[in-house]
Structure 1
Amino acid sequence: MRKHTIALLCLSSLSSFWLTAAELTAPIAVQQPYTVTSANGDRPDPYYWLRDDSRTSPTVLDYLQRENDYFAQYSAGYQALTDKLTDEIIGRIKQDDSSVPYNKGDYSYYTRFDTGKEYPIYLRKSLKDGTEQVMLDVNVLAAGKDFYQVANMRVSPDQNLLAYVDDTNGRRQYTLKIRDLRTGKDLPDQLTGLSSSIAWAKDSKTLYVVKNDPATLLSTQVLQHTLGNDVASARQVYEEKDNSFYMGIGNTGDNNYVVIYLGSTVSTEMRVQDASKPDSEFKVLAPRQRDFQYSASHINDRWVISTDWDAPNFRLMSVTDDKIGDRNNWQPLVKHDDKVFIEDFELFNNYLAINERSDGLRRLKVMPWAAPDKAFYVASDESAYVMAFETNVEPNTDYVRYVYTSLTTPASTYQLNMKTGEKQLLKQTEILGGFDKNNYKTERVWATATDGVKVPISLLYRKDFKRDGSAPLYQYAYGSYGNSSDPSFRSVALSLVDRGFVYAIAHIRGGQEMGRQWYEDGKLLHKINTFTDYIAVTDYLVANQYAAKDKVFGMGGSAGGLLMGAVANMAPEKYRGLVAHVPFVDVVTTMLDEGIPLTTNEFDEWGNPKQKAYYDYMLSYSPYDQVAKQNYPAMLVTTGLHDSQVQYFEPAKWVAKLRTHKTNNQPLMFKTNMEAGHGGKSGRFSRLAENAQEYAFILNLLGQTK
């Protein structure tokens, strides 16, 4: 067990936690002996005392507040710039805006934002008489709360009830509530400590939710609740014993089945129940096996399945309802292509629509069931773009909705006639503030990694940009979990680009931009490829005069924050500044502790440090462990006190260690949002203000005040 020798300090001795010699002297955390033990080696951790699982320790909270005060003092010097950026970024948003409605049952559903309001309003309109009804006004629900989020909602099959889950502190532990849409009042039924998943049975009185373990926050049980019954009597219909699996619940697109989704990094399983028979047993679609993944949806008495079975980039297969339970009954539908990764698909009575990824770009393919040889792609005129499905809830239609976007094109919702190939623009997000897409250019270039692999880069800059090696660069990446960083429109980025920046997205290994192997080559014992790819992108952009070598800024969040931490240790001289949001930086200690939320789910992503090979490899890049006596770039680090994904104490410890090791005077700023979690603040304007704060930090380093 770990040796815990931290002494309790009374508030009167708090002055020992920081230096106060000058107004802008940074807080210096006291060091207390502590040893993190493991079979593969013991490591001293003098800042372990910053971990307080209850989030109530006056000592810890006061220290975090001192860090916040220090940042407030520093940023006060350029507050006018922050305010200007905030107004500018918010000023591009059309405040009174609505989503494109979609029809389901007797209603048309849509979302609206009102001028000056932080949160959405969810509405529907009767297709019979045009009457509009407010289902949820999140502004009303959020009133008086520092944080509020409605994470999911589902209308009952009879359209009379709305089940929704909300969160009041950002820790992603949700409460289920049910609103009677006939009265506008919430029913007394409430279940707490849940994930965000919801499913309905066809009787419109049986609901399914996923219960979380209160300590690890792992999703462990599927509960079935009958409206009107005591919530304490909710029936457990499934329990997951393997703590490496995540779990969710939902309905198929045709609403004929309730589905339990189970997934680890390398394995998945689906259990299905006839939605008209809530008392029946869940049946396994195909038993889980290691290194076997699949997902499925249902239409016309059969399941269509996307799977990596003998297909690293996934292929599509199908099976009839009466033959589920054994993958050997699956029939081929769309074959595997080693150059094309199948991202997603939508099912229609007469068509199959596929969202593919090739050469790092997402595109749409439409295939008629009756004539597979007449499949076609939706064309684009840009070199870097994204196509992804919009809401498609009606299978008996010739139309598929999708969103098209690029770094120069705001999100545009299209409706494609799959029979004729004609497409109709339903809406393009309006960007205010004088935006003209013709003033900007997007480009796709390729850097060469240390092992010779070509890494794609998406660039955005103004058309009057001169490639002469003088421009500042803002370089973003993520590079983990197979999550791809698509080149979609980002209106906030215009505040940097209009000030002469080149905005770059580095599509580094660890994502799936170039297919499944791109992910495999950036995890476990190949993780360092992620970091060296990022540095190679920087080197390419500087060498090819897209950027000045002394004006390079990097940003990443969560696992992308780990990227920033690793890069800061490996190549600090290449960056003028780095921004790390909610960074996962204490890799080994976190992965050794199975009591921390989400740890056991991540062993196949990062490795299990109880095994020496993984312990040694993870230790070799863990940002907290590899902090050295050297110069570091200017850094802004953020976290949320209630973060359940990356606990606040990881960045807190990392910053504390950096303060005692860095050998230069570049600013190191640490800001804790005391009311939020992993995603930051919940309101739309509050989030944009956080973007402005980040950009002001960067621009101030360059001496820009406008």
Structure 2
Amino acid sequence: MNTKTTNVVHASSLKAPVAKKVPHEMTIHNDTRTDNYYWMRDDKRSDPEIIAHLNAENAYTDAVMAHTDTLQQQLFEEIKGRIVKDDNSVPVKQGNYFYSSEVTGDNEYPVSVRADDFAGTNKTVLLDINELAKNHEYYNVSSLSISQDENLLAYGEDTVSRRIYTIKVKNLTTGEYLADEITGTSGSIAWQNDNKSFYYIKKDPQTLLGYQVFRHQLGTDQTEDVLIFEEKDQTFYTSIGKSKDNELVYIWHSSTETSAVSIIDANDPNATAKPFLAREEGLEYSISKLGQQFYVLTNYNAVNFRLMKVSTDQLGDKSKWQDVIAPAEGVMLEDYELFDNYLVYQQRSNGLTHVTVRQLDSNEERELHFNDEAFTAFFYGNKELNTKKLRLYYSSMTTPASHFDINLDNSEFTLLKQAEVLGDFNADNYKSERLMIPARDGKEVPVSLVYRKDLFKKDGTNPLYQYGYGSYGSTIDPSFSSSRLSLLDRGFVYAIAHIRGSEMLGRPWYEDGKKLTKQNTFNDFIDVTKALVEQGYGAKDKIFAVGGSAGGLLMGAIANQAPELYCGIAAQVPFVDVVTTMLDESIPLTTNEYDEWGNPNQKEYYEYMLSYSPYDNVGQHDYPNMLVTTGLHDSQVQYFEPMKWVAKLREMKTDNNRLLFKTDMEAGHGGASGRFKALHEDALEYAFFIDLLNEKAAK
């Protein structure tokens, strides 16, 4: 018997932590559920027994995976070794300066800088985040906000990973900090044009909802800040921004099925917030200002959205809205960008992206053309109205991140930067495919695939890594990952299943995968797995499934409903205790989710959620090998959801497969901060799967 096999046998003999059971009954709709692990919830995250159990789970994971330490380090060095240590973002012009960030050497964090031009003349440092982070295990800075006179920088600082930020203000002329520190915020800042005050959002410390917009005057205490707007409806998120001409501050009101905007005059230091249009249930819209016109992206009589416009003297009446881009059957209008002379808009049809440039004075249009059939493209950094350049990000599963300026007069592309992949990477070694796979109800599910050509055989022998999300209308477009090369170069086929619950095939694709149709999300993922095996893309005993957050719910559901299909599952920060969480309005973000999952206070939704909730459906049967990860300070999915789920799985499952639970005691929903530290999480997951393959090969 070889050493590797001996170590695996030794690891399997280790005893997993066993959690105590304390029955907790919950009754609603004449139905009583007993949760033996409800005691694991501690909102203060300080209970010694809970911390001890999490540490015991971490120690167990470390012990079971100890024989892969060399492999994990190898994977970490591989992934890190592809990353350029000294790297800069592409400068973005805003006002009189070009803003960018730089990372050097082994530094975990960027340095934010600005210069007089794109070439970097007279470059000055705004923030060295490495210096700010050096005394913290976790550190994150919210987006930087520059005052109108370009002399003050405001930003939010989070040292816990709960996404609650303290706003600080730096004088860029002297380099000194102002005394102003605004606590308990979302981290978003919008400056008043007098350079003496700014707007920010206060968060509820329990629900973590941003619900109050305040105006803070520099030099005054936070207690004196003026309340501009308060959100009374807990199903809405609140965010702020500024118009491209800097004339207005926007307050965005967003729920799953309704959205609206209020506007503030950025030139009036005593301004109040006025609704652009009174909220209407089911009506979604967002706005942009160009001269005396507002452009409105909306679902008004358009399931897949349309673009309309209205003059500034006709606000508050949507009957005055006029079509700019009319709704089209099967075509989703996703985004647009306005300039003085051009409108650029992005649509999706049959799951594929199209970008079109329209000249505003003539209405002449040209579609932009890209090299790949399936790709990721989005606009960013377009801060100026008076320009003929469009900044665009582009990537595909075989094309590293690419940044372009596009001349809107002639559609010429100028490549500003393509991410360098160190080592022996050659894009020609890899192939990407786009498949349409029938689900059990006949709907066709888009799937994006990538693999290494010389290691792929369409004979059902390759290991398959299948990723999915499928919630909130979030579309996971096919894009490049240098970390993923460590799998592709070991023969893995990587697949993204664009399942219902996303908007890959438009808004109806989303509507058909939420609330009372949520089961379609799970069915789609399972049906894609079966089809990929049948078509020879993956070996039936070498299938690995991965998802995080709401994608972790997906992992929990497929583990209950089709465990026999998967050799291994990785569930990252998984939302698995659906019913209990959605019944508890004190848990952060719960009330915002009613239009996504349904409100279980209503019996119909309660019973439907209960039919798929991973935690409630853990059964006495075999489960795949599973790696579950979370962060103690997670603000989106609380740590106790995966903690309880793992405890119940240990109690119920009938197999000897591995069940590992790893908690980052310093991190939150996004995992570890820093560009290299987070790579250890990839290395652990990859090693978990590769080790399972090695174990199979050794038998």
Bucket of the pairwise TM-score, normalised by the shorter protein: over 0.9
CA contact (8 A) 1:40 1:610 kept: no
CA separation in 1, counterparts of 2:625 and 2:392?
Answer: 41
Query: Aligned residue for 1:84?
Result: 74
Q: Aligned to 2:444, which of 447, 451, 454?
A: 454
User: Whole-Å Cα distance in 1 between the matches of residues 427 and 670 of structure 2?
Assistant: 29
Query: Structure 1 residue 587: deviation in Å?
Result: 0.2
- Give the counterpart letter for 1:624 in structure 2: Y
Partner of 1:392: 382
Deviations 1:627-674 (Å, cap 9, x if unpaired)? Answer: 000000000000111111000000000000000111110000001110
State which of 401, 407, 413 in structure 2 corresponds to 1:423: 413
Structure 1 unmatched ranges of 5 or more = 1-20
Partner of 1:349: 340
1:605-645 CA deviation, whole Å, 9 max, x = no partner? Answer: 00000111100000000000000000000000001111110
- 1:188 and 1:39 map into 2 onto residues whose CA distance is 53
Contact kept in structure 2, 1:50 and 1:652, CA below 8 Å: yes
In the alignment, is the contact (CA less than 8 A) between 1:284 and 1:324 conserved in 2? no
CA deviation after TM superposition for structure 1 residue 689, in Å:
1.5
Q: Which residue of 2 aligns with 1:648?
A: 639
Counterpart AA for 2:155? Y
Deviations 1:279-314 (A, max 9, x none): 122221111111100011111121111000100110
What CA deviation, in whole Å up to 9, does each residue of 1:467-496 have, x standing for no partner?
111000000010000000110111111100
Letter in 1 for 2:97: Y
Post-superposition shift, 1:127?
Answer: 4.3
Deviation at 1:278, TM superposition (A): 2.8
Matched residues, number: 686
The residue that corresponds to 1:49 in the other structure is: 39
- Structure 2 CA distance for aligned equivalents of residues 490 and 130 of structure 1: 32
3-state secondary structure, aligned to 1:210: strand
Which region of structure 1 is more displaced relative to structure 2, 273-282 or 251-260?
273-282
Query: Is residue 101 of structure 1 aligned with residue 78 of structure 2?
Result: no
Which secondary structure state, in structure 1, belongs to the residue aligned with residue 130 of structure 2? helix
CA distance in 2: counterparts of 1:599 and 1:106, whole angstroms = 43
The 8 Å contact of residues 390 and 413 in structure 1, kept in 2 or not, is answered as no
Going from structure 1 to structure 2, the CA distance change for 1:274 and 1:292 (only over 3 Å counts) comes to: same
2:142 and 2:551 map into 1 onto residues whose CA distance is: 23
Deviation at 1:42, TM superposition (A): 1.6
Per-residue CA shift, 1:122-178, capped at 9, x if unaligned?
000134992111101110000021100002111111000111011101110111111
C-alpha contact 2:93 2:381 (8 A) present in aligned 1: no
Alignment partner, residue 616 of structure 1? 607
The answer to whether the Cα contact below 8 Å between 1:385 and 1:488 also exists between their aligned partners in 2 is yes
Asked whether the equivalents of residues 208 and 588 of structure 2 are also in contact (C-alpha less than 8 Å), the reply is yes
Q: 1:165 to 1:663 in 2, by over 3 A?
A: same
Q: TM-score, length-normalised on structure 2?
A: 0.96
For the residue of structure 2 that corresponds to 1:100, the secondary structure is coil
Residue in structure 1 matching 2:494, options 503, 510, 514: 503
Q: Which moved more, 1:101-110 or 1:422-431?
A: 101-110
The reply to whether residue 332 of structure 1 matches residue 287 of structure 2 is no
2:14 aligns to what?
24
Pairing 1:491–2:482 present = yes
Return the offset for 1:65.
Answer: 0.4
Deviations 1:248-292, CA, capped at 9 Å, x for gaps: 111112211001100111101100012111312222111111110
Give the match's secondary structure for 1:196: strand
In structure 1, the partner of 2:573 is: 582
Q: How does 1:673-688 map to 2 (within 5 A)?
A: 673-688=664-679
**SS of residue matched to 2:256:** coil
Question: Quick one: which amino acid aligns to residue 701 of structure 1?
Answer: L
3-state secondary structure, aligned to 1:198: strand
The 3-state SS of whatever aligns with 2:484 is helix
Conserved 8 A contact 1:361-1:486 = no
Partner of 2:3: none
- Among the aligned pairs, what percent are the same residue? 51
Report the 3-state secondary structure (helix = DSSP H, G, I; strand = E; otherwise coil) of the residue aligned with 1:295. strand
Matching residue's letter, 1:182: T
Query: 1:258-337 counterparts in 2 under 5 A?
Result: 258-337=249-328
**Contact 2:12–2:64 (CA under 8 A) maintained in structure 1:** no
CA displacement, residues 177-207 of structure 1 (integer Å, 9 cap, x when unaligned): 1111111122110111111321111111110
Matched, 1:572 2:563: yes
State the match for 1:110 in structure 2: 100
Looking at structure 2, the residues matched to 404 and 599 of structure 1 have their Cα atoms a distance apart, in angstroms, of 34
* Structure 2 residue ranges without an equivalent (≥5): 1-10
Q: Which residue of 1 aligns with 2:620?
A: 629
> 1:92-491 counterparts in 2 under 5 A?
92-127=82-117, 130-372=121-363, 374-464=364-454, 465-491=456-482
Equivalent-residue separation in structure 1 for 2:476 and 2:95 (angstroms): 35
Residue 550 of structure 2 is matched in structure 1 by 559
Q: Secondary structure at the match of 1:510?
A: coil
Shift of 1:430: 0.5
**1:40 Cα deviation after fit:** 4.7
- What letter corresponds to residue 144 of structure 1 in structure 2? N
Three-state SS of the structure 2 residue aligned to 1:86 is helix
Counterpart CA distance in 1 for 2:132 and 2:352 is 39
Q: Secondary structure of 2:21's match?
A: coil
Task: Give the match for residue 598 of structure 2.
Answer: 607
User: Which residue in 1 is equivalent to 2:6?
Assistant: none
Give the 3-state SS of the residue equivalent to 1:269 in structure 2. strand
Letter of the 2:318 partner, please give it: R
Please, what is the CA RMSD of the aligned residues?
1.6
- CA shift, 1:22, in A, is 9.3
Contact 1:355 1:389 in 2 (8 A): no
